[in-house]
Amino acid sequence: MADKRDYYEILGVNKDVKEDELKKAYRKLALKYHPDRNKEAGAEETFKEISEAYAVLSDQEKRTKYDQFGHAGVDGRWSQEDIFRGANFEDMFGGSGGGGFGDSIFDIIFGGRGRRRGGPQRGSDLRYSMTISFEEAFHGMEQKISIPRTENCSVCKGSGAKPGTEAKTCGTCRGSGQTTSAQNTPFGQFMTTSTCPTCRGRGKVVDVPCTKCHGSGRVQKKRKIKIKVPAGIESNSRMRVGREGEHGTAGGPPGDLFVDIYIKPHKTFKRVGNDILVENDISFTQAALGDEIIVSTVDEKVKLKVPAGTQTGATFRVRGKGMPYMHGHGQGDLHVRMNVKVPKKLSLKQKEVLREFARLSGEKPAKENEKGLFEKVVDGVKEKI
């Protein structure tokens, strides 16, 4: 990641660039470095670089993550296919008569140019969303999930041909899996490469198809995979499970599985980074006189000393009782916010005691229709709440 250039620098734009200016900058550079127009060494790599920069910066979600965390915020969250998914390259050139130019971008990025499409192809990545509880995020957990995915047929081993027969080289594309045509545009002539309609990109055709997969070489299956979620994981995290995506074709490697983790809100605890916030009620006398109370953490109960004179909103820290650090040892802290609970109804005896307290405090004793110290304390607490 450290070797990657800044996306804004690549496109020659400022960080506050607007959408129209971003499109204009990319279009200018894309026309300059497109391999069909620029035969210089390094032009194709430059074209890939500027296309990746545009794919990220033209997507609001990806751009926000990039602005916050740099390349780590993008590469750690999206696969290469995800980065380019949704980027409208056709809109950039198709409207100017460049038909096919946008399609060729994906061939360049994902290696479709200059190699046989009938050769080994990496399988597609898969995504799965998992919702877990606050406690499961705290402790970590394992769960088996069922993933529908495309796999190679076990009968024909992915060839599509009935066992004992062989697939033949496609006569239309001569085994390349692609057909090529020239198109004249206002920007010059472009060579457009498309998937062969006869063999559908495989480079081979099947005369006697496999009875299990009907000649496709592929079957849909459900695979059970054990997902291990580490303690301390944050909501909206993405986990990568290597080689558990769809199978590749013609001996290509499988794709990856990306698991998006979402944590359900807790009715008691609130997470801030690796710290946990919790509200705790105490009585008026506990707040005034001080006390030792029992506070619930996620996995146990601990003692906490409340000093005399504690006010509503006062927060106390219990070290090492927050969320575990996912990539290290130890835990964050628990922050306990106090809410002083004032009784709504008082007996005559309680009122008498509080008026005596007011007199001892030097306050003028309150009449029945006047607010005494206790009533003022109540009002003060309510205002803070």
| pLDDT tens sequence across 67-91 | 887 887 787 566 666 667 656 665 5
With helix as H, strand as E and coil as C, how does 2-68 read? CCCCCHHHHHCCCCCCCHHHHHHHHHHHHHHHCCCCCCCCCHHHHHHHHHHHHHHHCCHHHHHHHHH
pLDDT digits (tens, 9 = 90+) for 244-288: 999 988 788 899 999 999 999 999 999 999 999 999 999 999 999
Amino acid at 150: T
8 Å CB contact between 233 and 261: yes
8 Å CB contact between 47 and 53: no
Q: Does residue 313 share a domain with residue 276? A: yes
Q: Does residue 101 share a domain with residue 36? A: yes
Select from 265, 283, 314 the last residue of a domain.
265
Read off the pLDDT band of 306 (50, 70, 90).
Answer: very high
Q: For 131, left (φ over 0), alpha (ψ -120 to 50), or beta?
A: beta
Residue whose C-alpha is closest to residue 271's, from 330, 321, 329? 321
Q: Does residue 106 share a domain with residue 5? A: yes
Give residue 1's pLDDT: 40
Characterize the bridge pairing of strands 334-341 and 315-318. Answer: antiparallel
Give residue 37's pLDDT: 81
**Is residue 189 in a domain?**
no
Select from 242, 265, 288 the last residue of a domain.
265
Domain of 29, in residue numbers: 1-114
8 Å CB contact between 190 and 100: yes
Q: Does residue 210 share a domain with residue 152? A: yes
In this model, does residue 298 exceed pLDDT 80? yes
In angstroms, the CA 321 to CA 337 distance is 15
Read off the pLDDT band of 177 (50, 70, 90).
Answer: confident
**Is residue 194 in a domain?**
no
Q: Does residue 104 share a domain with residue 127? A: no
Q: Does residue 146 share a domain with residue 104? A: no
Note the residue count of the chain. Answer: 385
pLDDT > 70: what percent of the chain? 81
Q: Residue 156 belongs to a domain with what CATH number?
A: 2.60.260.20
